[in-house]
Amino acid sequence: MILKQGAPDIMFEAGVKDNYCFRCGNKNKELFYKYYASYYQKDVTYCLFCINLGRSDSLNPLYGYQTIRQQEHINYRLDFELNDIQKEASDRLADAIKNKHNLLLYAVTGAGKTEITFQGIKYARNNGLNVAFVSPRIDVVKEVYLRLADAFKGVRIDLMYSGVKSVFSNMFTVCTVHQLFNYINHYDVIIIDEVDAFPLPEEPLLMETVKRAAADDASIILMTATPTPEMKILAGKDNIVTIARRYHGHDLAIPKIVWDNTEKYIKKNKIPLKLKALLDDIAEADRKVLVFFPDIKMMQKTAVLLQEKYRRLESVYSGDTKRYEKVQLMRDGELDILLTTTILERGVTFLYLDVIVVDAHRFDSASLIQICGRVGRKPKDPTGNIWLMTTFNTSGIKKTLKVIRAFNEGRTAL
Ligand SMILES: [Zn+2]
């Protein structure tokens, strides 16, 4: 079913009852708010977990529609041919959908994951199955939507994320995970891209939301370069497909370690010498760079220092209102240096890109692997430089090197 305010049918007499929210499945007592409504002369409880979609409370019913399933004969076109490894993964994914089981696609960054799903999506829609392609990240949702719309020409695809709702049929949807709150037992195929990205692992309730939105015999397809043990369990050990090679066939760049106490310089309002040397080398080679920082404060301090010397430089973080504009400037080649927090660790591709991580000892391996994955994504620029600046070695740094080396040897470090 699909919940929607203003729809004709009552799906639940009330949104909340006995500390359970019928919309999002929240049953955590602390995530409800209770107050006395003098007008009704009784207590009213509402759910805090899904409040962004409007209030689900103990007073008002939830309205909606029953799920409709309808065949649609759709097709897609690719500008390139899948290589043998991608083809095999694409077949396995389509099989999982046909046989109604889950699948984990464990693929190196830049493996061409999105295109691997097209065959399965086509099968699903041609057989009347409802499909959702979701991600925790808005950037990823936007990018995936563009690629699907480009390949499935003329097919109507719903797009939903915070503030944007363009819905045609609820049968083929691209959206953030949070948008699934309004769907119960509705989607027969749910593909989750960047499944380990914030806030999915930190919010177990969100994974419950995915499962609630899924029909009883749905296939959930998990896609990531950095899987967690829970994902392997959800997929089942026989349902893991690995891709250790990028689609262009080149090795992943191996990060270089730069020993430096960068923070010491920044605290004294001085440009870290080793950072400056790297930035000058990158400029000399006529390349661009993303510089990752573990926190906003440190990044902003460094930005002020660097802006005196480097003109084509900007910085971005999640709350930055000009975030998408600045990323576009970088894409258009108008910037040489973009300082960033982990918000750009995935979902972005820039040409001729190198990467520097400041205080790499403060990042975990999942983050570092994603960051390294920004480099060398395009066939015309298949490699690049990655520098991890760090005061000391950590298990996160060691694991990153181990995983990347294993990928290059054609293995996965699962
Ligand atoms: Zn709720």
Q: What six digits make up the tokens of 239?
A: 């349902």
Give me the architecture of the 84-243 domain, per CATH: 3-Layer(aba) Sandwich (3.40)
Contact between 143 and 347 (Cβ < 8 Å) = yes
**Tens digits of residue pLDDT in 366-375:** 999 999 999 9
Q: What is the percent of the chain with per-residue pLDDT over 70, rounded to a whole number?
A: 98
* pLDDT score recorded for residue 317: 95
Q: What six digits make up the tokens of 222?
A: 């998990």
Range of weakest confidence among 54-58, 244-248, 277-281, 401-405 = 244-248
221 confidence band (pLDDT: 50, 70, 90): very high
Q: What is the rounded CA–CA span in Å between residue 186 and residue 110?
A: 31
Mean pLDDT computed over every residue of the chain = 93
Q: What is the percent of the chain with per-residue pLDDT over 90, rounded to a whole number?
A: 79
**Model confidence at 52: pLDDT above 90:** no
Q: What's the CA-to-centroid distance between 56 and ligand 1, angstroms?
A: 6
Residue ranges of the chain assigned to CATH 3.40.50.300: 84-243, 256-408
**Tens digits of residue pLDDT in 270-295:** 999 999 999 999 999 999 999 999 99
**Model confidence at 298: pLDDT above 90:** yes
Q: What's the CA-to-centroid distance between 24 and ligand 1, angstroms?
A: 4
Peptide bond into 199 cis (omega under 30): yes
Cα end-to-end span (Å), the chain: 37
Q: What's the CA-to-centroid distance between 51 and ligand 1, angstroms?
A: 7
**Model confidence at 357: pLDDT above 80:** yes
Query: 268 Cβ partners below 8 Å, 6+ apart?
Result: none
Q: What is the rounded CA–CA span in Å between residue 62 and residue 49?
A: 16
**Model confidence at 311: pLDDT above 80:** yes
Q: What's the CA-to-centroid distance between 219 and ligand 1, angstroms?
A: 24
Q: What's the CA-to-centroid distance between 281 and ligand 1, angstroms?
A: 52
Q: In the CATH hierarchy, which fold is given to the domain comprising 256-408?
A: Rossmann fold (3.40.50)
Q: What's the CA-to-centroid distance between 67 and ligand 1, angstroms?
A: 20
Q: What's the CA-to-centroid distance between 159 and ligand 1, angstroms?
A: 22
413 confidence band (pLDDT: 50, 70, 90): low
**Tens digits of residue pLDDT in 62-102:** 999 999 999 999 999 998 899 999 999 999 999 999 999 99
Instruction: Give the residue-averaged pLDDT of 235-252.
Output: 91
Q: What is the rounded CA–CA span in Å between residue 311 and residue 17?
A: 58
The position carrying tokens 């009347």 is: 128
Query: 269 Cβ partners below 8 Å, 6+ apart?
Result: 301, 305
Q: What's the CA-to-centroid distance between 192 and ligand 1, angstroms?
A: 21
Q: Which of 136, 118, 168 is nearest to 2 (CA)?
A: 168
